Structure 1
Amino acid sequence: MLIKTISLLLSLCLSSAVAATEWHVSLWGKRRAFTEHVEKLAQLVAAKTDGGFTLNLSYGGLSNNRENLDGLAIGAFEMAQFCAGYHPDKNPTLTVLELPFLGVGTLEQEIAVSQKVYRHPAVERDLARWNASLLMPSPLPQYNIAGVGPTPHSLADFKGMRIRATGGIGEALSIIGAVPTSMSATEVRQAMDSGVITAASFAPHAHMSFGTIEAASWWTTNLNPGTVNCPVAVSIDALNDLKPEYREALLGSVDEALAYYLDYYNQQTMAAWGPKLQQRQIDQVTFSPTELQAFRDQAAGPVRDAWIREMNDKGIPAQELYDLVIKTLTPE
């Protein structure tokens, strides 16, 4: 009887082990506001499946952040976060969300417009080339610039300044004479310390997480040229292979994970940002409405038009994607 009982327990344990599913998730840097929705998603999925389905989050241990789409394509891991501006050639359709001065005012708007674009057939085809399906955005506020050296008091002062900036933000800054330099977030502090760049364009959480605020002497409060789009994507093959209840646990947890992210960013990150600027006596630069409008007039239309021409040449429905963004952001 004892032998039969032990045998049954072993059988149950083996059956449970076989049924368990673990996904590996490729992130980078360290845990921060930018990754809190992924952390929350992992908690929710594990709880809903009683530990049968788990997300193993890795901060830099699985892939370089510019190669996360490649990792999904070859099946090196099942989920990853990436930023469209790191490799626009790999995800050209997503770069519509990085055009300057789109008019996104809140994180909630950023979520809404991202989710609309992610479900567009052209975007789904684009990402399917990498065996990737977009799960959820990582909504970020408008970027602003922190830098070292003399404080810029007008847009003319940015002429010749080397600034870490990607995507449409970089293109907009180049129009006012800056020299945009593309590099991943983890490289920025060293580049600033060594003089490779003078300033960096980031959202507040990244200025804190990657140390630029510790080096900076000035910060622009209202330049607001745009933001970057950094989705969380899953392997199409891995998603298709999930047991139905695990798939439901994953997809059904996205809204709650994003709600947690919004609360975290607004209540913790932004609450810490102002005091850190004051504590470090960082010069806060606010541009006049007239100067900001001149910047928009110079950058928004030309960058948009150039993007539409470039995407059309690639066979991408550029005007349709751009119109979708504007329609989503425009109240009925």
Structure 2
Amino acid sequence: MFRTKFRHIIGATMIAAMAFGSVGVAYSADKVVWNFNVWGGQRAFTKGVEIIKEKLEAVGNGSFELKINYGDALGPKKQNPENIKSGAFEAGQLCVGYYPGKYPLLSVMELPFLLPRDINARAKVEMAVLSHPDIVAELSDRWNSKFFGPAFLPAYEFMGNKRIETTDDMKGVKMRISGLNAKALQVFGAVPTMVTATEGYNALQRGTIDSFGFPYSYAFGSYKLYEVSKYVTEGLAMSGFMCLQTVNIDAWNKTPQAVRDALPAAQEAAIAGMIEAYAAADKKWRPIFRDKLEVVEVDPATRAKLAEGAGKIWAEWTKKT
């Protein structure tokens, strides 16, 4: 039965991809406050939750506040699921690859070469999957949480101090990318090594990572990885983390109805705002990268070669999950 459910999830994801290319609420007098935890500072990635904050607070008219705590101010990112579940804080940012085994169904979105390359299509696919009843149940039953904010990412490229143009160039290279995508690189001799986004600068500087996989281009600029790198790829366009924002269900249920009703429209505004922010980041960062680094244009045949084994990895996921 479970295997059938998991096959249904991956099937639904593929269809969507093709179709689209103490627990409680913090109070201040009569105001409901959600404390939201996220790593790093303001950047294109956080634009979505910043828009949702603006929209929901406007509807709340003083009865609701979404307080964004940057820089992991409320606790380490790897403890966000547990802290949201327990009500240590009401809401937070998640990226599934940081939590191996904790979101088995949702990890479908991190399968290599499953998502479309186009950012608009990626956003639509992720929203469709996040509304799937089995995904909703995984969040609520395992983690006492509910999806509230989109956090889709552009396709991944690699930046670092090893030049990567072909699959042969990956042999022995310590490459940072999440577990399921890592399997596609291991076939060609890469050595996957996972560190968090905030650890990337030091990891490249010290040589514990040779090449860092990140959403292109905003993340490389936001975390200044170009300062400690020589090369960046364009054309690999790999899948990466599946990210989302969740809220504790008890906190959600105590939130004013008008605020809850306003969430779908706020999500749509967040999606549009994130797409604009990623485009603006490309205009800013890609010329800087071309000035400071060697941009390695990856031939489509190389990407196709990497993607050849994806079906086998998908099948293994279905069998094991």
TM-score by shorter chain over 0.5: yes
Q: Is 1:303 the equivalent of 2:316? A: no
- Determine the structure 2 residue equivalent to 1:33: 44
CA-CA distance at 1:41 after TM superposition:
1.1
Which residue of the partner structure matches residue 19 of structure 1? 30
Q: Residue 69 of structure 2: SS of its match in structure 1?
A: strand
Structure 1 residue runs of 5 or longer lacking an equivalent are 1-15, 312-332
Which residue of 2 is the match for residue 7 of structure 1?
Answer: none
Cα deviation for residue 98 of structure 1 reads: 0.8
Q: TM-score, normalised by structure 1?
A: 0.84
Within the candidate set 120, 124, 135, 2:132 is matched to 120
* Equivalent residue letter for 2:316: A
What percentage of aligned pairs have identical amino acids? Answer: 31
Encode CA deviations 1:23-50: one digit per residue, 9 max, x unaligned: 1001111111110111111111222222
Cα pair 2:85 2:143 within 8 Å, conserved: yes
Give the alignment partner of residue 61 of structure 2, picking from 20, 41, 50.
Answer: 50
Contact 2:48–2:270 at 8 Å: present in 1 too?
A: yes
Partner AA of 2:274 in structure 1: Y
Structure 2 residue identity aligned to 1:124: V
Deviation at 1:256, TM superposition (A): 1.2
Q: In structure 2, what is the equivalent of residue 5 of structure 1?
A: none
Kindly provide the amino acid, as one letter, of the partner of residue 310 in structure 2: A
* Greater mean alpha carbon deviation, residues 282-291 or residues 94-103: 282-291
Shift of 1:226: 1.3
- Partner of 1:67 in structure 2? 79
Query: Structure 2 stretches of 5 or more lacking a match?
Result: 1-26
Q: C-alpha separation between the residues in 2 aligned to 1:263 and 1:197?
A: 31
Distance in 2 between residues matched to 1:201 and 1:253, nearest whole Å = 30
What is the distance in 1 between the residues matched to 2:149 and 2:56? 15
Could you report, residue by residue, the CA deviation over 1:172-200 in whole angstroms, capped at 9, with x for unpaired residues?
11111101111210111111111111110
CA–CA distance in 2 between the matches of 1:17 and 1:223? 48
Between the two proteins, the alignment pairs up a number of residues equal to 292
CA distance in 2, matches of 1:67, 1:177: 32
Q: Larger radius of gyration, structure 1 or 2?
A: 1
Which residue does 1:231 correspond to in 2? 244
What do you get for the CA RMSD once the two structures are aligned?
1.6
Q: 3-state SS of the aligned residue for 1:29? A: coil
Q: Could you tell me which residue of structure 2 aligns to residue 135 of structure 1?
A: 148
Question: Within 2, Cα distance between the matches of 1:292 and 1:17?
Answer: 53
- What CA distance in whole angstroms lies between the structure 2 residues aligned with 1:186 and 1:295? 27
In structure 2, C-alpha distance between the alignment counterparts of 1:94 and 1:51, rounded to whole Å: 35
Q: Check whether the contact 1:118–1:134 (CA below 8 A) recurs between aligned residues.
A: yes
CA contact (8 A) 1:172 1:225 kept: no
2:271 maps to which residue? Answer: 258
Q: Offset at 1:137?
A: 2.3
Q: Is the 8 A contact 1:137 1:229 kept in 2?
A: no
Mapped partners of 2:34, 2:281: distance in 1: 28
Q: Deviations over 1:261-292 (max 9, x none)?
A: 111211x1111122111221x11112223332
* Superimposed CA distance per residue, residues 28-85 of structure 1 (whole angstroms, 9 cap, x where no aligned partner): 1111111011111111122222232111100111121111111111101111111011
SS of the residue 1:253 aligns to:
helix
The alpha-carbon deviation at position 91 of structure 1 amounts to: 0.7
Aligned partner of 1:77 in structure 2 is 89
Q: Given that residues 109 and 115 in structure 2 are in contact (C-alpha distance below 8 angstroms), is that contact kept between their aligned partners in structure 1?
A: no
Could you tell me whether the CA contact under 8 Å between 2:130 and 2:147 is conserved in 1?
Answer: yes
Structure 2 CA distance for aligned equivalents of residues 17 and 73 of structure 1: 21
Shift of 1:105: 2.2
Return the offset for 1:255. 1.2
* Partner SS for 1:197: coil
Report deviation, 1:250.
3.7
- Letter matched to residue 304 of structure 1: W
- Aligned partner letter, 1:302: K
Q: 1:247 and 2:260 equivalent?
A: yes
What secondary structure, in the 3-state scheme, does the structure 2 residue paired with 1:231 have?
strand
Provide the C-alpha distance between the structure 2 equivalents of 1:191 and 1:170, rounded to a whole number of angstroms.
Answer: 18
- The DSSP-based 3-state class of the residue aligned with 2:262 is helix
**Residue 279 in structure 1 maps to residue 299 in structure 2:** no
- Give the residue type in structure 2 aligned to 1:255: E
Aligned equivalents of 1:291 and 1:42: distance in 2?
A: 42
- Go from structure 1 to structure 2 and tell me whether the alpha carbon gap of 1:211 and 1:233 turns closer, same or farther (over 3 Å shift): same
Moved more, 164-173 or 194-203: 164-173
Q: 1:169 aligns with which of 181, 191, 202?
A: 181
